[in-house]
Amino acid sequence: SGYHILKILDVKGQQHVDVTEVNAKHILIKTSIILSDERAKKMLEQFIDDIASGKSTIEELAKEHSDDPGSAIKGGELGWNDPSIYVPAFKNALAQLENEQISKPFRSSHGWHIVKLLGERKVDATDNFIKNRAYQMLFNRKFSEESEAWTKELRGNAYIEILD
């Protein structure tokens, strides 16, 4: 009962976990009372035309127009990430792209997007998998202990009077 510190001396039959990460750039346009879905989609279609004709780059357009403040200052770049961290619409759009290809405008729960896939890579995520598994095991154990103590406390404080 409590926390323990363990030193692992040897591991046999360890599970190896590979994750495919993607690097992408995107532009997000959030709709509002002033900016309709149709207008946001048309803006993004115009951005695609400007990129294709060489008038602008996705980096310039993201810095100027993207409503995602975290990626806009980096030219729309999201960095290397596991696609499962993104909302389903964004993840699905990335899955359909080839390297250096720009998607058609699509809607997600955050707004309207276009995304450019910069690349894919396989990464060894065994360490993260093991850490997450250990965390879950400790969390589950502590959670069940704490929930049991909480229910005992509730029962101890409860007062029930039966009236005939």
DSSP assignment letter at 161: -
pLDDT tens sequence for the chain (164 residues): 789 999 988 877 767 778 889 999 999 999 999 999 999 999 999 999 999 999 999 999 999 999 999 999 999 999 999 998 999 999 999 999 999 999 999 999 999 999 999 999 998 877 777 888 888 998 988 988 899 999 999 888 888 888 87
Whole-number pLDDT of residue 109:
93
| pLDDT on residue 155 | 87
Query: Please, what is the average pLDDT of the chain?
Result: 91
In this structure, the dihedral spanned by the alpha carbons of residues 46, 54, 73 and 115, taken in order and rounded to 10 degrees, is 60
For position 68, what pLDDT does the model report? 94
Q: Which of 75, 79, 62 is CA-nearest to residue 119?
A: 79
User: 103 and 109 in contact (C-beta within 8 Å)?
Assistant: no
What is the reported pLDDT for 134? 87
